[in-house]
């Protein structure tokens, strides 16, 4: 719940944008990811798991 609250603080209106990086290997586990809200899960893909910070930033800039 706290993770979703933190991400929600970045995006306050439809005009806002931000990047969410869950830099914790626990989020690669289905039981942890399944507790995140649907709007976060819709942007979280298996191909984006276990990335370095540099790789996550590179993908986000594309």
Q: Degrees (nearest 5) of the Cα angle 36, 48, 61?
A: 110
> What are the sequence ranges of the domains in the chain?
2-61
Name the residue with higher pLDDT: 20 or 35. 35
pLDDT at 17: 79
pLDDT category at 43 given cuts 50, 70, 90 is: confident
Using the predicted structure, report yes or no on whether residue 30 has a pLDDT greater than 80. yes
pLDDT at 44: 84
Q: What is the 3-state secondary structure (H, E, C) of 12-35?
A: CCCCCCCCCCCCCHHHHCHHHHCC
């Amino acid at each position: 719940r706290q993770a979703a609250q933190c991400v929600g603080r970045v995006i306050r209106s439809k005009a806002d944008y931000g990047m969410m990086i869950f830099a914790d290997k626990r989020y690669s586990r289905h039981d942890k990811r399944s507790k995140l809200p649907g709007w976060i899960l819709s942007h979280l893909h298996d191909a984006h798991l276990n990335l370095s910070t540099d790789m996550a930033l590179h993908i986000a800039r594309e």
